[in-house]
Structure 1
Amino acid sequence: MPSRRLKAIPVLIAAALIVGLAGCEQKEKPKAPPPQVGVITIKKQTVPYTYEAVGQTAGYREIDVRARVEGILLKRVYTEGKPVKEGQTLFQIDPAPFKAALDQAMGVQAQTKAALTKATADRDRIVPLFKENAVSKKDFDDANAAYDAAVANLASASAKVDEARINLGYTTVVAPISGMASKINFSEGSLVSPTANGGLLTTIVQLDPLYANFSFSEAEKLAFEKASQSGSMTLPEGRRYKVSLKLADGSVFKHTGVIDFSDSKVDPSTGTIKVRAVIPNPEGDLLPGQFVRVVLDGAKLNNAVLIPQRAVIQLQADKAVLVLNNKNVVEPRVIQLGQERDNDFVVREGLKDGDRVVVDGVLKARPGQPVNPVQAGASAPAAAAK
């Protein structure tokens, strides 16, 4: 009997070990704590509204400098591509033929003056004689007719003198405005004329101020008007928008301007409305023809919802954010985005006051799972201390 008991002891020990191990396996593993995420609470606010459009600069005035008489271009008196002043001499056309024409016209004028002097004297002699019936009615009429003809001839000759003097003046081509002069289209020695193809000598562009031309769509115009009427947007007083320009390198031009023209019709070929802004350009840094981003400031969005761009995720074809319910469980929500403002988006639809949106730790927040929310931007130790 003692030997049987000794043999049973190892069996009992093994059984006890097996039962103990089985009990350990049945114990649940400790669950990981919910991940910590940074959240913001949505609160509607009034924010500035900025409108951007692609535009192109243009000269405030662009003047074609043309030859107004036909002749040989003797010389260019300005430096191409440099500023010129109003009234400054740009070109000299050969004046010799026009000076000769003026001298001839002045000679004819002198002859007509002499003829008028004689006709006046003849008329003055005839008048008293006619009153005394010393001369016939025909002689009287002939004297008056000769006088009238002499007056008319002198007027015509004087007009020819003026015309010749004007043409002689046109041989000196001056700048009609101050601005930047372009290159010459004809070399010295060329024959220039007032024709369409033979008279364009150069172009002068006034750079200060400068125009910025852009356009907006008919749909955008209607959206602006509806937003203004509904009160969701406040337009600037008198619709005097502050206009700034973003240049090709992303920098903002140092001077701002205002809108001075908005077309009263829609362009049927593009469906857009043309708009023009005037921008100061005293240093001449901007040149005509540059492509810019025209930025209009002055309007305000009322009851706007803003969220950081990093909170937005792509949900198939939609944009979405992760929001927390009252149990801190993550729920995805599709939203409609508006314009971009610095590092934020304006949300048009999908969020309301009081919604809690995950901003930090978006990758750790899984839909349907609870999280540990803290204020967005708070460090982990500071959040734990709270």
Structure 2
Amino acid sequence: MIWLTSCDTDSKPKQAQAMPPVNVVVVKVAARRVPFSIELPATLSGSKEVEIRSRVAGILISRNFEEGDRVNANQSLFTIDSEPFLLDIERQKAELLATKARLDRAIREEKRLKSLRADKTVSQKEYDDVLSTLQISQADLLSSQTRLSEAQTQLKYSQVEAPVSGIVGRENVSEGTYVSGPQILLTQMTQVDPIRVRFGLSEREQLQMRQDAEKSLLTLPDKGHWLTRIKLQNGQFYQQVGQVNFRDVRINTQTGTSEFQAIVPNPDVALRPGQFVHVLLQGAYRENAIVVPQQAVMDNGVGKFVYVMVTNEKNITVAKTAPVEVGEWIAEDKTTGETNLWVINQGLKEGDEVIVEGMAKIFFPGTEVKAQVSSSEPVAEFTHPSTTQS
């Protein structure tokens, strides 16, 4: 019987080699003062909606505009036949001349009887009668002057003028039609420069902002005068900036919102009444906020999280997940040049080191990392942040 034996010097398993640290870039977060904004759906309407009516009755002889035109204040829109008013003016002028002649005669008669009365040639009653005639003639003169002024005003009103600058609508009365006066609507016009922006802000959002302001966590615009920017349907922002000028104290029981209104300059009439837009409210600031670059925030299907760099119990620098609640998104900080930043409401504290680059190589929490620190300046200004995340 032959026994075969073998000695294998490499039979012991080799120890697994440790993975090298993952190179990452981190940002040490700090409390900052950052802009706070709200984006809300809104509708546009004219700053003034005006009904155009004639103040005088007569035949409408011409329309002096094209429907849909932009017209200036005091521009003639309609012409009412002026011939009756011109005739009335001539009649009132003639009546005024006659009244002046009667007054001149009364003045002369009063002077004559006044001297005779001094010599007691005429009675007191005769003098009193002449004096009364003089006073009546003076009143008749004022009345004649008033009627002439009224006739001239009627002539002026035969030109129906635009009370404001804006866009004029369709005509409701054709040329040649008899217009009986103000009860007939001739057309309508809308003042579009400036233009109104109307939107609702929920009671819940208002309450949260008031509570944050009371805790000195939020600084609101003075007297509620939020700056407003218009976001169009294509995602672009209108270049003109407006301001909130009205807030309804009542809460709509059906929507749970308060109505707000802003006025925005619209010199090129690019904005039109009836448009659906989004309004961005700016001018508030969140105090002592934690801000991180957008790429640092990830989603695992359960919620949002970031990787923070920590030292474990073995004194090894590793990546650890930190669930976070995000707030406002800041697109760009014009002061520092930083772009795409998230405000973190919960989950991070000042001094935490957040990994902002190299996360794709971190396959599981606890991976050893080697960090390169990236400086991050406080956020002071921004171009157009989006709405608060919920």
Q: What does 1:68-107 align with in structure 2 at a 5 Å threshold? A: 68-107=55-94
Shift of residue 69, structure 1, vs aligned partner: 0.9
TM-score calculated relative to the size of structure 1: 0.74
Alignment CA distance shift 1:35-1:323 (3 Å)? same
**Equivalents in 2 of 1:370, 1:260: separation in Å?**
50
Shift of residue 226, structure 1, vs aligned partner: 4.1
Task: Choose from 14, 30, 38 the match for 1:44.
Answer: 30
Task: Choose from 330, 341, 346 the match for 1:341.
Answer: 330
Q: Which residue of 2 aligns with 1:265?
A: 249
Task: Choose from 203, 216, 221 the match for 2:201.
Answer: 216
Contact 1:37–1:361 (Cα < 8 Å) also in 2: no
SS in 2 for 1:49: strand
**Equivalents in 2 of 1:35, 1:313: separation in Å?**
24
SS in 2 for 1:255: strand
Does 1:370 pair with 2:370?
A: no
Alignment CA distance shift 1:263-1:299 (3 Å)? closer
CA offsets 1:323-343 (integer angstroms, 9 cap, x no match): 565336776544322122334
Alignment CA distance shift 1:312-1:190 (3 Å)? farther
Q: Which of 1 and 2 has greater Rg?
A: 1
Shift of residue 73, structure 1, vs aligned partner: 1.4
CA offsets 1:269-314 (integer angstroms, 9 cap, x no match): 4654554444333333223333332223344333322345553325
Contact 1:68–1:199 (Cα < 8 Å) also in 2: no
**Equivalents in 2 of 1:206, 1:175: separation in Å?**
14
Identity %: 30
Contact 2:49–2:188 (Cα < 8 Å) also in 1: no
- What residue identity is the alignment partner of 1:282? P
CA offsets 1:222-270 (integer angstroms, 9 cap, x no match): 444443454434456887755332212101112334x262437344546
Does 1:292 pair with 2:288?
A: no
Does 1:174 pair with 2:161?
A: yes
- What residue identity is the alignment partner of 1:373? V
**Equivalents in 2 of 1:144, 1:301: separation in Å?**
82
Contact 2:22–2:361 (Cα < 8 Å) also in 1: no
Q: Which residue of 2 aligns with 1:350?
A: 347
Q: What does 1:46-195 align with in structure 2 at a 5 Å threshold? A: 46=32, 47-195=34-182
**Equivalents in 2 of 1:237, 1:150: separation in Å?**
63
Shift of residue 185, structure 1, vs aligned partner: 2.9
SS in 2 for 1:253: strand
Alignment CA distance shift 1:185-1:75 (3 Å)? same
SS in 1 for 2:241: coil
**Residues paired across the two proteins, number:** 357
Runs of at least 5 residues in structure 2 that lack an aligned partner in the other structure? 332-339, 375-390
SS in 2 for 1:256: strand
**Equivalents in 2 of 1:371, 1:50: separation in Å?**
37
Runs of at least 5 residues in structure 1 that lack an aligned partner in the other structure? 379-386
- What residue identity is the alignment partner of 1:100? L
Contact 1:70–1:192 (Cα < 8 Å) also in 2: yes
Contact 2:56–2:154 (Cα < 8 Å) also in 1: yes
TM-score calculated relative to the size of structure 2: 0.74
Contact 1:68–1:193 (Cα < 8 Å) also in 2: no
Shift of residue 164, structure 1, vs aligned partner: 1.4
Alignment CA distance shift 1:111-1:83 (3 Å)? same
Shift of residue 170, structure 1, vs aligned partner: 0.4
Shift of residue 167, structure 1, vs aligned partner: 0.7
Contact 1:262–1:273 (Cα < 8 Å) also in 2: no
- What residue identity is the alignment partner of 2:245? F
Q: Which residue of 2 aligns with 1:312?
A: 298
Contact 1:338–1:347 (Cα < 8 Å) also in 2: yes
- Farther off after superposition, 151-160 or 291-300: 291-300
- What residue identity is the alignment partner of 2:77? L
Alignment CA distance shift 1:151-1:252 (3 Å)? same
**Equivalents in 1 of 2:106, 2:114: separation in Å?**
12
Q: Which residue of 1 aligns with 2:238?
A: 253
Contact 2:60–2:176 (Cα < 8 Å) also in 1: yes
